[in-house]
Every structure is written in structure tokens, then in C-alpha cells.
Amino acid sequence: MRTALLLGLPAALLAALSLTAGTPAHAAETVPLAEAVASLPLATESRNGYTREAFKHWNAGDDPADGCTTRNEVLINEAVEAPAVGPRCRLTGGTWWSYYDQTTVTSASGLDIDHMVPLAEAWDSGASAWTARRREAYANDQGQETSLVAVTARSNRSKADQDPAQWMPPATDVHCRYAAEWTATKLRWNLTADDTELAALTDLAASCHDRTVTYTPAT
């Protein structure tokens, strides 16, 4: 009976019902690191017209009602020991692990929120053609845990806007993780890689046996 009733509905209404059925628009994909790297589109990068202000951040985060910016939401989510959250989302206490340099941090002020693929690198790799709204979504992306990462200010500023051909975390035993998270971010946002970046990632993937990349394409 339900099927018969549905068949009598207009196509537009059927489409609307399908969007409320709970099926995600994109499912997470998991592939070997080498395969993920090989699927990155190769393109020449250009920084023409780039300004950091083209990527609005930090905004009100995933939960505007909590009074926290994206920065503080990431800090709360990534804390090893949870900080106290006071008025205006002021964080006190708490402990974090900066995996880039294997450092324990006990003050939120000592941390930066790193864009795994820096804003300038994203611009070079395709974001220059995006709308302002999509760039804001990228800059505040909490839809994939690896897009934003709390690390020491020292390591983040050492990285700056460099890609894996130019910079890798000082802790060498996390290089496979870093390469996988970088690649996951690029695949999530359909960003390209230049030839030197792709060569560096390919070399890393060859030595990162059994490492996989999980990503969900951004809507």
C-alpha cells in the first residue's frame, strides 16, 4: 500500500522525501595511502590573488549555541584532559598532545589550530575558484577530524604554508600519519597537487606499508 501511495506522488515531492531518509550524500572512503596519493589530480599551483582574509575564520563553529568559535571547539574536542569551559567559552586547565613534535601542552594559549592543508596551499590547489562560503566552510571544517589539528604554536609556525615536499613534522615517526592526513584533506576537498608535492607523497607512501587514508568528500 505504501509503495502504491508513493508512486502517486509528484517527482519533486519524492525527491524531497528521499533527502530526509537519513542517507548521507557522501559516504566515507578508505583506500591504501599509495592509491590515495595516486588519485590526487596533478596541476600547476598559482597563488595569484591570495589573501588570508579570503577564508573567513574562526566562525561560530559547529554549534553556534555553545558560544565557542571553531578554534575552541577543536581544542575541546582534541583535549587529552578536558579544560573547564567558562563564560564566553574561556578555557582553563586541560591537557593536549601536539603530535607534530610529540609535546604535551597544558595551556590552550600555547596551541595553534593548524589547517592540515594550509589556507594558502588550498588556494593554490583549487580554492581560488571557490565561493566565499565554500572557503569559509573549508577554513572551519570539523566534518573530518584530520582537517584541523591542535599543535604547538612553534610547530605550526615552522610549517607555515609549506607542503610535504618542503616541510614534515619534526617527529619522524609520525610522517606516515601526516602524509595520510594531508592526502585525506586534499581528497575531501578535491584539491590538486603539484609535481614536487606529489613526488614527495609518493615516496612517503612507498615506505608507509599498510597505511590507509579515510576521507569523506565535502558537500
Could you read off the pLDDT of 108-126 as tens digits, one per residue? 999 999 999 999 999 999 9
Q: Residue 25: pLDDT band by 50, 70, 90 thresholds?
A: low
Residues 58-91: pLDDT tens digits?
999 999 999 999 999 999 999 999 999 999 999 9
Mean pLDDT of the chain: 90
Q: What is the DSSP string of 31-81?
A: EEHHHHHHTSPB-----TT--GGGS--S-S-S-GGG---HHHHHHHHH-SB
| Mean pLDDT score, 22-48 | 87
HSE of 99 in the Cβ direction (CA atoms, 13 Å)? 17
- For the cut 50, the answer to whether the pLDDT of residue 11 exceeds it is no
Q: Residue 18: pLDDT band by 50, 70, 90 thresholds?
A: very low
| Mean pLDDT score, 32-38 | 98
What is d(CA 182, CA 180) in angstroms, rounded to the nearest whole number? 6
Residues 161-217: pLDDT tens digits?
999 999 999 999 999 999 999 999 999 999 999 999 999 999 999 999 999 999 999
177: left (phi over 0), alpha (psi -120 to 50) or beta: alpha
Q: What sign for the dihedral angle of Cα 83, 86, 90, 92?
A: negative
Backbone dihedral angles phi then psi of residue 193, each to the nearest 5 degrees: -130, 145
Domain parsing of the chain, residue ranges: 26-215
Query: So what's the pLDDT on residue 17?
Result: 33
